[in-house]
Structure 1
Amino acid sequence: MGPTVTFLISIGLCLDWAVRAQMDTLPRPTLWAVPSPVVPKGADVTLRCQGHLGSDRFQLWNDGELRDERNESWQQAEFVLRNVDDQRDARSYSCRSGQGPWWSEPSEALALVVTGALPKPTVSTSHYYTVYPGTRVTIWCQMAQQMASPQDYSFALLEAKSLEPFQRQSPAGTQAVFLLLSVGAKDAGRYSCIYYKKTAPYRGSHPSEILELTVYGLLPRPTFWAQSGLVMAPGANITLWCSRPKLSSLKEVTFSLYKAGTQRPLQQQTSADLWTGFLLPSVRLEDTGSYSCSYMERTVSAKESEPSEALELLVPGSLPRPSLSALPGLVVESGMHVTLQCWQPHQTFLSDVTFILLKVGTPQPLQSQSPGGTSAAFPLLSVRAQDAGNYSCVYYRKMVPYQVSKPSQVLEIWVTDALPKPSLSAWPGPEVVSGTNVTLLCQGPSWRTRFILHKEGSPDTTQDEAQFLLTHVTSKHSGNYSCRYQPGTNSSLWTQPSDHLEITVREPSNTLLITLSCVSSLLLCLFLLVFFCHRSTPLAGDLHGDSLRRFFCCSCHPWSACLPRHPEAPRDEALYTQVAEKTPTEPSVPMAEDPEGVTYAHLNIRTLNKRQADPQEKSTESTVYASVS
């Protein structure tokens, strides 16, 4: 778009604003519901508000109160109501569009009917289920008999699958009459009906049984679907299922699979069953496209059905991947809104693309938009725990040759009701000795920002790190601990606390000290024992050194090896020990002149006795004397 054109458009918008300001009003927008203003309880519905060219603000009103407001860069906004309730959401809606400082008048009111609260009605027709073109057909819808005050209810004739209303009636009684004048091919199909409250909340009945209407010369259109989803990675297998209504006139039919842009069927199958599957093995990028199916009688007349609704099969990979972001953030409080924005890459600008929002685990796309620009905004309104999960987006071109981008990076959305609580652990353990350092680790999701540690009876500790260090712990550190983390920038929002972790600090016991002391002494004794037993040179010198050597040596040698040896003594010599009251200073040798005699203790290896020695008697054995003091 050249600068001249842009300037002219800007001048035109300014003039439009000036004119609107003089008129003090903007054109009334249009509000409608997708797929239908009749919604089963618990389902999702999208309310689309179409404003005039240049609208950049939109408001959704509910029973005269503002329910939601958003800024959009295009002339249309979507408001998604999830898991609708027959009390809260079955209300009257309108919308306004804004441009600059001005707002439009509210749109016409849209009554959202939520079914499932009342007993289902009965449905019947004035003709057989198969009629000729041009026939006038009457369909009756009868309210359940037990309902009181029938004048408070309205009736609606619906398309059985989408619940899209064809006609509405507000009779005074319990029955409504719907007329189909001069039916044609467009009137063939499946019908049901409901009744619902005239005033809010618009609580509706369960849909009636299905009434199937067939027009001669044309068979009812089949139903076409894929169980595994329509966005398939290259190389994957997908089965497209085509099912026909149950008609008594049909026994066996031929099902055909078509792809937009081709004249001949891709596949054909003959079957007497009500459905068949078309397998597309190992899909490739060129398999992207719009598919439909039909069936044909195997008779002379060979009547064929209308084509089914088209399915868009997408095989990503032929265009660069987009980027996906979340506003206001990845963590959303329950009941609040979040918008997922899908952007084309900067190096790619395709104005005629369609954006699709995907969720891991959900086979069908969540939302689809064709804004005509470089980005699309997918609103998630009043999020709940089930909205948490992994999201991605793709964009593609709906013209031949079909092109689909690679999926964006997965974006994980958390809802506060579904946030996991953290876990708290201690190192080296929950039971420690006084004076030890203890580290408490608070673990949670990777995007957590701040942490808080709580101890019963003590003030909380808040920090930006997950590790809390307790230094030189004492008995006052004993107790129950828990932690929480902050999931976003909202300083007032914290998760649920972790499970309690009990920390026990014990004082060192006397038994432990005694044990350590005994072990130290034993180690010292063993060291001395090894030292004396393995010395290569015996202790020389006085008798005290020899006794010490024998004391430490006898525990590791035989007893005989511990005895002192004389270099000239025979192996079986007798050992005598002189016992005296005083220790002699000279070698202890008996004197023959001693008149009183000397008392000896005769120690022999074989015998041990005590006798009075004769001074003149000489010993015939070699004798060794040792003085014992």
Structure 2
Amino acid sequence: MEPGRARGRLPKPTIRFDPDSGIALEGGVIIIKCEARIDGLKRFHIFKRSEPIFKVTTDSNSTAVFTITNVTSKNNGIYRCVYYKERPSPIRSEPSNIIRLTVQAGIKAPLSILQPASAAVIKGDNLSMSCTTVTNGWCFFYQDYHDASSNLPIAEERSNVTVSITTVDFCDQRSYSCQCLIEYNGTKAYTARSNLMQVNIFGRLPKPTISFDPDSGIALEGGVIIIKCEAGINGSKEFHLLKGGEQILSAYTDSNSPAVFTIPNVTSKNDGIYSCIYHNDLPCPKASEASDDIRLNVQAGIKAPLSILQPASAAVIKGDNLSMSCTTVTDGWCFLYQDYHDAYWNLPIAKERSNVTVSITAVNVCDGGSYSCQCLVEWNGTKVYAARSNLMQVNIFDRQEPKYKPAGTGSSNKIPVALSLVFTSFVVLILISALLGVVLSKKIPATDQPRSQGETVSIQPCPLKHAVYYLIYAKKPKSVNVKL
């Protein structure tokens, strides 16, 4: 309905732009404010010419705020607003005065950048963020809701100045954004709306413990270091390993076992401070504070000795034994692993002295794949790991049964053999008919049906034979800034 044609009995609202210049840059933001100086529940509508484009309900005498983001030349034009009250009977106001928005065609609004890009914060701690643009100006911070027109202003501060929300609660778990008010040709204009910053709030869990294996925290170049993070609570947990506060590896455990992070082929880049945290999501999101820090010292220029796994490859019949041995240049304890998709995920299967043969008895299809080893050796009076060995490829094959050959070859045996084959075929046909009747009547599942020669059979993964295993699901997880 054309807002100027109907006259209501409610006072006329006031309308204005923020900034009040009514000038916007392409890609920037413009804010429209409509105010009615009466109390009670009201529904506001914004019109562009005669077309309604926004509506919002307020339950007080506060101003209704409409935000247009990513402004284009299509937003050029005249705007006005009206408001409605439903009680005690429906009634509408007169329309406001007209205001005009001018979009500067071809003039791109500068970017606003909200940092950090995301954050995980413990309930009760503080959340800090800052908004930056290319020039100095006032920046406005918002807690975002379902759309850009419904967001809650939480702070305003100079560009690149940190703003903190103290003692956060689960209500603060939302997306945040910002925009800055800058000078353009002697007038004020808003920059573009920033990226969305996702904030996750967690309850607090007990602090985990972290340790190196070997516990000296010393590694040689090219060697291996193992980091263990342990939480003294049961249930599934997701662990994160941090280096200098930055998340580098993640692991999931479904018991009270520690998460084990293996760093192979160590270099001087791995030198530094490590800590870990963990969290779970059931029954509600909770996270621990960070563990104590531990320092890894990589001995620059000192090469770790090699570990050699023999044989280099093996083809084993299902049900037979698989033997292997791990050797290094000096005596030490060697650890053998069944490797998976990457060096961070492997299953410990045995521990034995260097050059001592280890056997896996009665191998199954689960035992196929790659194997590796590493040895714990003495260096300058302390324990360090040698380099991770070569990968040993193991293939498991089914046992081929010998074909039946008749004992006789003379012509006197041909007739009895032929009669025997005919009789056997007749019996087999009867059995097949009976079997088909059972299948059709009872609908045997496909996995229970007999396999014919040459048929491709999908083999289900075997259950792991070892009690402890760890699932490392990401070498490079999404960047998450952890605020602790």
Q: TM-score, normalised by structure 1?
A: 0.25
Instruction: Give the TM-score of the pair, scaled to structure 2.
Output: 0.31
Q: Which structure features the higher share of strand residues?
A: 2
Radius of gyration: which is bigger?
1
